[in-house]
Amino acid sequence: MEKKLHFNSFIAASIAIFIPIFIWGNTVSHFPWIIEKLDFTNSTIGFLLMYFSIVQLIASQTAGRLIIPAIGTRNTLIIGIIIFSISPITFGLSNSKTLFLLSCFPTGIGFGMVQTTTTIITRNAEEKTGLILQTYLSAFLTLGFLCGALCSGIYRHLNFDSHYLFFTLIFISLGSTFFILYFGLKPNLEENNEIDKIKIPEKNILIYGLYMFIFMGTVMAIVDWAPLWFERELLTTSLIASLTIVCWSGGETIGKFLGAKLIILTNEKIIGAYIPLFGSLIYVLIIFYGNIYLILIGLFLLGFATANFFPIVIRIALRKTTDNINTAAANLSTIGFLGLLIGPAIVGYTSEIFSITKNTQAISIIWIILFLMFLYTIRNSRL
């Protein structure tokens, strides 16, 4: 009975992570439309992602240390989703730069609460059920992005009014709270509800958080800027531009849903380090060659190869930590998503000086270094 309850709570976590990312996938695919409508520069998008990261970090720490211990994971998820549901209004229906940049507040608060909470739920569900679930949680995150990109791409290709789409997303977000309420774990059945003191994260959390920091800062720079890169610099249609997210997310989704089985068949070292390193090497060659359709294929392959890096880092870090799980998850989320504060913002500035193409080439090289560093770490530690 206990296993079933915790598995149901994982279902609630999967729904909770899918919905905000589905909305975000629609939003990112609409960046060219939003920029054209409001006459923005690339740096404006960089500012948005930077502000979003600041708000998300504060919300993540608050959720892990204060909100979850006080009201439980189920209630925290519901509140996070309700707050996030405001974001389609400010994103898609905004008519000024100020209102657009204010979108970062409900988006960051809601996602910060949801991301940390779902990580905690999944870790607890893994302990109670004996299953590998972090890869599946990450798969639902990517699936949300994929479905959002497909929805947006089709919608824009048919030349429908995008304002109606963003209006509909509000009700989709609010509707998901009923499923979370049904599947979520009741607060009286949860453990680890003590409020932890603020302190410097332990060494293991800092090391693995650094890898998450580099990964999040660069992966979001690649994915969030890909539609603009294709449409503005490679001069493709809006439909082809939307396919960048579809290809990336398609590869990631497949890789993550296969992640648990692949880890069982091999080990975390191969799936989390060797395969991402191999995929990044191939992508570097494709990027410098420059063919549009090869780049789309490369995004799919890179998405598949790196799909399980993030969940494997979380699994290893939480397995090695001696900190409270709520606090450790919040710290990992904070350190990792600090990358969002720096990476996309840097691309926003430098893309106006150099180009998005040059930034993408530089990031692809950084990934090779990242996976080499991670491989060195896990080869010299016991998993």
Whole-structure pTM over 0.75, yes or no?
A: no
pLDDT at 277: 92
> Does 248 score more than 60 pLDDT?
yes
Q: How confident is the model at residue 72 (pLDDT cuts 50, 70, 90)?
A: confident
pLDDT at 340: 66
> Does 197 score more than 60 pLDDT?
no
Q: Calculate what percentage of the chain has a pLDDT beyond 70.
A: 83
> Does 186 score more than 60 pLDDT?
yes
Spatial distance between the Cα atoms of 113 and 56, rounded to a whole number of angstroms: 8
pLDDT at 382: 58
The single residue listed with the structure tokens 């429908």 is: 160
Spatial distance between the Cα atoms of 51 and 75, rounded to a whole number of angstroms: 26
Higher pLDDT, 352 or 60: 60
Question: How many Cα atoms within 13 Å fall on the side-chain side of residue 41?
Answer: 11
3-class SS of residue 250: helix
Q: How confident is the model at residue 196 (pLDDT cuts 50, 70, 90)?
A: low
pLDDT at 189: 65
- Please compute the mean of the pLDDT values over residues 73-94 and round it to a whole number: 83
- Please compute the mean of the pLDDT values over residues 304-314 and round it to a whole number: 87
Q: What are phi and psi of 217, to 5 degrees?
A: -65, -35
- Please compute the mean of the pLDDT values over residues 71-78 and round it to a whole number: 88
> Does 85 score more than 60 pLDDT?
yes
Spatial distance between the Cα atoms of 358 and 104, rounded to a whole number of angstroms: 27
pLDDT at 188: 65
Lowest mean pLDDT among 40-49, 138-147, 193-202, 329-338: 193-202
* Among 333, 310, 325, residue whose Cα is nearest residue 145: 310
Is-contact 20 88, C-beta < 8 A?
Answer: no
pLDDT at 263: 87
Orientation of helix 104-129 relative to helix 325-353, angle to 10°: 140
> Does 262 score more than 60 pLDDT?
yes
pLDDT at 32: 67
| Mean pLDDT rounded to a whole number for the chain | 79
> Does 192 score more than 60 pLDDT?
no
Higher pLDDT, 1 or 193: 1
pLDDT at 226: 74
Name, in order, each residue with C-beta under 8 angstroms of 360's C-beta and a sequence gap of 6 or more. 222, 225, 229, 287
Q: What are phi and psi of 164, to 5 degrees?
A: -65, -35
| DSSP secondary structure string for all residues of 184-206 | SPPGGG----PPPPP-PPPHHHH
Dihedral Cα 236, 239, 240, 243, nearest 10 deg:
150
pLDDT at 281: 92
pLDDT at 138: 79
- Please compute the mean of the pLDDT values over residues 355-367 and round it to a whole number: 80
Higher pLDDT, 234 or 172: 172
Quote the tokens at residue 310.
Answer: 């993030």
Lowest mean pLDDT among 90-94, 114-118, 124-128, 136-140: 90-94
pLDDT at 275: 92
Spatial distance between the Cα atoms of 276 and 369, rounded to a whole number of angstroms: 11
